[in-house]
Each structure stands twice: as C-alpha cells, then as structure tokens.
Copies of this chain bind each other. A is one copy, B any other.
Amino acid sequence: MTTYRAQVRVWLKPSVFDPQGNAVEKALLTLGFAGIEEVRIGKSMEFLVTADNQESAEAMVDRACRDVLCNPVMEMYTFTLEARQEA
C-alpha cells in the first residue's frame, strides 16, 4: 500500500456565472489592481489516499470526484496525485 497526496480542483463550468469571482474582480479593481481580469473561484481539495498502486488510487479519486466532490451539472474537476514522501 502506498499513500498519495491528492489535490483536486473543482470549478464552475465557463457557462455558469461565478458571483464570487465577479465580486473579487470588482474589489481588486477598486483597490487599484488594474490588469487583473476574468477571475473565477473554485474549490481546492486536498487529502491523502492509500491504495495498492497509483492506478487504483487514481480510480478511487476519480470516483470520489464524480460521485461526491463535483456536481457535473455545473462543475468540472481535475486532480493530481503524488506519492507521499516518507517522513
């Protein structure tokens, strides 16, 4: 068994209005951050996965994303996996 550090990123599909991104963009603008645009805010999830190998860890994370972590009606996801260095 190996333990991996998973990093999942979930964000709203481009067609879905992101009010949070919008608000932050406006705030940045009024604070003088000219040149920042198209702000989108999503979720970043991190966790440890223990599995036989990278492949089955990937399958598990993918299933977790599809079933729970992401709602495909309005969201998309990507993830990365990295074998954890031993302490």
Contacts and interface: CB of A to CB of B under 8 A. Distances in A.
Contacts of A69: 24
A49 B36 contact: yes
Nearest to A50: B35
A45 B40 contact: yes
Contact of A45 (B6, B33, B42): B42
26 contacts: A6-B36, A9-B44, A11-B44, A11-B46, A21-B45, A24-B68, A24-B69, A28-B64, A33-B63, A33-B64, A33-B68, A35-B49, A35-B50, A35-B60, A36-B64, A37-B48, A37-B50, A38-B47, A38-B48, A40-B45, A40-B47, A41-B44, A41-B45, A42-B44, A42-B46, A43-B44
Interface of A: 6, 9-11, 21, 24-25, 27-28, 31, 33, 35-51, 60, 63-64, 67-69
